[in-house]
Amino acid sequence: MDFKIAILPGDGIGPEVISEAVKVLKVIGKKFGHSFHLIYGDIGGGAIDKYSNPIPEETLTTIDNSDAILFGAVGGPKWDDPEAKSRPEDGILFLRKSLDLFANLRPIKVFKSLIDTSPIKSELLNGVDIIVVRELTGGLYFGSPKKRWITSEERNAVDTLIYSEYEIKRILKIGFELALTRDKKLASIDKANVLETGRLWRQIASEISKDYPGVELEHILVDNASMQLIQNPSKFDVIVSENTFGDILTDEASVLSGSMGMIPSASLSFLNTDNKSKKIKTSLYEPIHGTAPDIAGKGIANPIGMILSVALMLNYSFGLQKESQEIYKTIETILSLGYRTKDIVLKGEKPISTTKMGDLISDFLIQ
């Protein structure tokens, strides 16, 4: 089978981890007889430097001609001027909105061999396997008005949190559908005690739950959810939340897995909002970590989140479940043998480099 993939490395450690992901993808293609045509594009801070645009027309053309997107990370201190007209993050925000990538799936899986690397008590981590469904194209990140202004007395800023019934329904339905394929438990996260959007979210979740009598729905306030994720993470199966809450909660949940460098994500736009056909448009796959400028160029970044994002792409965009599972099993084997990058190494052990981790995963896949 032939697939076209847009490769957008971005800034910081993005190019480093995406190189290892491409390495693994090529091995999968050779082993299973698939052709992956890779087309590279600029995005983020590097694109601003080169084109004065965080997502130039050349990159958009590349994406238009692709079946899926592998994305690294964007941003860094170089482009942090609060007065700048454009920021690296504008590129990825534009893609999410223009491609209608409203459903962001973030699996939080604790590998048995990494339980001791987490600061959380090991007895709390057994069996933790969560998938967070984050709404990705609404809420505070996209609401209008969004601006800053200065009066004669002080500086001011405003961001708008707005959600429509349509936006809430379609993301909740994906959460319910995923719950049906797992343990049939759905935790819906809101702030209904304070926010009107939270009250609407909770009301719609309750209404939709009537169409899914086999799924146990639990409403949880986001502050309570943030505590329970640490105190009792195994209680969760599928979590669904609005944009900002999902962003924060998944960063918190990465502590369970030992490192943010372990967490992949898939940003999807389903052709039909009830998610029954499983057919999707061009989708984007990325690790949840940022550009990590403090370690960029040092060869110590963890590429596993990026490589697992490849596994998600094979599954969701290309329907290659066997190939996807092969990557997961190989990573589990590598970790069980004690190989670790710096972020997940145990005290006294010697970490391996970004490149070495990619080489090991590739070599084991070939076997």
Residue 64 catalytic? no
Residue 247 catalytic? yes
Distance between CA atoms of residues 150 and 155, nearest Å = 4
Residue 223 catalytic? yes
11, 42, 90, 141: which is the annotated catalytic residue? 141
49, 80, 116, 223: which is the annotated catalytic residue? 223
Residue 11 catalytic? no
Distance between CA atoms of residues 318 and 195, nearest Å = 39
For the chain, the three-class secondary structure string (H helix, E strand, C coil) is CEEEEEEEEECCCHHHHHHHHHHHHHHHHHHHCCEEEEEECCCCHHHHHHHCCCCCHHHHHHHHCCCEEEEEECCCHHHCCCCCCCCCHHHHHHHHHHCCCCEEEEEEECCHHHHHHCCCCHHHCCCCEEEEEEECCCHHHCCCCCEEEECCCCEEEECCCCCCHHHHHHHHHHHHHHHHCCCCEEEEEECCCCCHHHHHHHHHHHHHHCCCCCCEEEEEEHHHHHHHHHHCHHHCCEEEECHHHHHHHHHHHHHHHCCHHHCEEEEECECCCCCCCCCECCEEEEECCCCCCCCCCCCCCCCHHHHHHHHHHHHHCCCCHHHHHHHHHHHHHHHHCCCCCHHHCCCCCCCCCHHHHHHHHHHHHHC
67, 100, 251, 359: which is the annotated catalytic residue? 251
163, 191, 237, 339: which is the annotated catalytic residue? 191
247, 339, 342, 343: which is the annotated catalytic residue? 247
If you search the block for the tokens 């010697």, which residue do you land on? Answer: 350
If you search the block for the tokens 């505590």, which residue do you land on? Answer: 227
Residue 211 catalytic? no
Catalytic residues: 141, 191, 223, 247, 251
